[in-house]
Amino acid sequence: METCFRQLPLALLLLIPLILAALTAAGSEETPRPPVTRREDVTEILHGVAITDPYRWLEDQESPETRAWIDAQNAYTDALLDPLPHRKPLEARLTALRRFDVYGIPTARTNRYFYSRRRPQDEQNILYVREGLQGPERVLVDPHPLSTDHTTSVYFVDISHDGDLVAYAIQQGGDDQSEIRFLDVATGKELPDRLPRSFYEGLDFTRDRKGCYYSRLTPLVGRRVYYHALGTDTAADVEVFGKDTKPEDIISVRVSENGRWLLLTVWHGWSRNDLYLKDLTADGPIRPLVTGLNATIVARFADDRLIAQTDWQAPNRRIVEIDLEAPQPERWREIVPEASDAIEDYALTGGKLFVQYLHNVQTQIRIYHLDGKHIGDLPLPGTGTATVPYGRWDATEGFYTFQTFTSPPTIYRYDVPNSTSSVWAKPEVPLRTEDFEIRQVWAVSKDGTRVPLFLVQCKGLVWDGARPTVIYAYGGFNVSLVPYWSTQAVVWAEQGGVFVVANLRGGGEFGEAWHRAGMLDRKQNVFDDLYACAEWLIQNGVTRPEKLAVQGGSNGGLLVGVAITQRPSLFRAAICAVPLLDMLRYHRFLQGPQWIPEYGTAEDPEQFKTLYAYSPYHHVRPGEKYPAVLFTTGDLDTRVAPLHARKMTALLQHATGSGHPVLLHYETRSGHSGGKPLGQQIVDQAREIGFLLWQLGVPPPAAPPAPEPGPDGYPR
């Protein structure tokens, strides 16, 4: 036996005792125990404070010891979650709710319509084109043959003005990096040009289709804008902008519809940006247009007129026109003034201005001429979330979606001259929306701020103080959690539970002031808002801590990490997905530098104090009775480093005194940006919901009856 062990690779030698321990426990009558993780204290002094990190070694993602540890953690997680009786009924129900025809919003170019579609049998979206609005569809790019496990996905990056040329991205798993390829639409053949795998912020063709401008990120260096001439070697692409920007800056590119202008937007975090402009017809220099304002300016062209949504001197945002020759803010012409409701988005379609407002986190769309005259509203089919009708300024049509928590997105075509809407694609799911009810209530946070939350439940559900309840929240980066189609909300309600979406500060639900109230040294407001929502649910007889879970991902994963360390007794279970958790080191990895304007950095003495005060990894206390926690992440997360979840899993497993499981589900073929095949998404979602139901003491659901076959033999 000793000789055999010596012949094995080092990684396997390290793995064997961990796997054997997990599997032995799994095969016994006792509850499996987590693998023992080696501790090795690394201490450093930051601004006079000694910081000790016992799991710094887990930051090395490729070391044999880390790989062995990941495999052992997955074995332990599988040993607990795979046998759960909840899984199979949940998988069956989720399959019924998710395997239907899913369309993306079409992009119209001349007489062609480009869109993505995922049929019930597909694992990934396929890219299609249709000649004419009702013409037959044709496949442009099918990602299924590109990988045996269907983890490769594709999406449109840009479509030329005449609709003859497409740029599309190929993404492996959930990696934020992609390869960009070019396609001749008429022949379906690829051009030889390829932009290599990298982080791309955007790409726009020139009007003459001779080339394109794109923004690319080099981690820890920053973004640069390049010009690629089609038919040339991409290694010779010319850098045209960005050398004076910082690593944390984000640069987007946009060529105006008429082909004259190149607009460059440099984002310094999510609360401030600058505009730069180049006249392409005169091949003029790139010149600053609007810079140095402590505000956001989202600008788009209507012919040669630059229209912008801004929060400059208007926290709820307004719409203005910027004179290209006199772009000073005092010279801006106001088109739509600031109102009591925040502006969320706008579109310049068919010669009209469509403005999307959020009224108590629900969509309203108003229509204007560019002279500011309000000419009507876009009727919506109910209370929920809609997008503005996206289309071209010189077009006669635009497309928008409408959805709620219990109804998937329906795509509508808006006929601009006739002011009428018609259904372009409506999904069919086995669900009666009238069987559910959605309520909006308001909690009061620690400082007196009113915080809204949506409750999704079955109609007529009686609150008995013990309803299994899960709160989903985000609270950051100006992201608004509007009502969205949620299969988890549906399934959770069907189990007699209450699914809650909390609109915390840090988001954009009530304009820029709401966002700024939850960033940097005001980040604690976000966490206090969450606790207020949880306490409202308890005080109003919905649930109690033993039946309450919290869930979030990315910045929402940070929220969950803070919640379970600051208020561990408030929650019984948590799902913490692709999270940031070591807030003293986050800025050193992957895309971390670009989040410094939102969080701050431990390099700054004052910001260090704020970060250290809430950083979850630095507030785990030995013996504390922590909730059951499921961490999820993966190797291909090239946005938030997976080391956060690895280190926090080890630390919580070592420290918790509750006896509740601390689990890590670690993918080797997926990451932050999705990319999982649909079948795997369903399996993982069933495991996650099953984990929460198990920990909140909910019995497994009954398996739904098998669907009856239709006339073609397939289930209907």
Collect the ranges in the chain with pLDDT lower than 70. 1-30, 673-674, 703-716
| Closest by CA position to 199, among listed 221, 222, 211, 217 | 217
CATH topology of domain 431-695: Rossmann fold (3.40.50)
Considering 421, 554, 615, 670, which one is annotated as catalytic? 554
Side chain identity at residue 408, one-letter code? P
Give Rg (Cα) of the chain: 26
The pLDDT, as a whole number, for residue 23 is 39
Residue 223, classed as helix, strand or coil, is strand
Q: At which residue do the structure tokens 């929460």 appear?
A: 692
Angle, alpha carbons 42-45-51 (nearest 5°): 50
Give the model confidence (pLDDT) of 45-56 as tens digits: 999 999 999 999
Give the model confidence (pLDDT) of 196-223 as tens digits: 999 998 999 999 999 999 999 987 788 9
Considering 271, 445, 672, 673, which one is annotated as catalytic? 672
* Distance in angstroms (rounded) separating the CA atoms of residues 181 and 189: 11
- Predicted model pTM: 0.91
Give the domain ranges of the chain. 339-428, 431-695
Length reported for the chain: 716
* Distance in angstroms (rounded) separating the CA atoms of residues 585 and 646: 14
The pLDDT, as a whole number, for residue 32 is 87
Residue 46, classed as helix, strand or coil, is strand
Strand locations in 595-681 (E): 628-634, 662-667
The pLDDT, as a whole number, for residue 617 is 98
The pLDDT, as a whole number, for residue 704 is 54
Non-local (6+) Cβ contacts of 460 within 8 A are: 437
Residue 185, classed as helix, strand or coil, is coil
**Token pair of 235, please?**
């290694």
Residue 640, classed as helix, strand or coil, is coil
**Is-catalytic flag, 644?**
no
The pLDDT, as a whole number, for residue 673 is 65
The pLDDT, as a whole number, for residue 703 is 60
Give the model confidence (pLDDT) of 155-169 as tens digits: 999 999 999 999 999
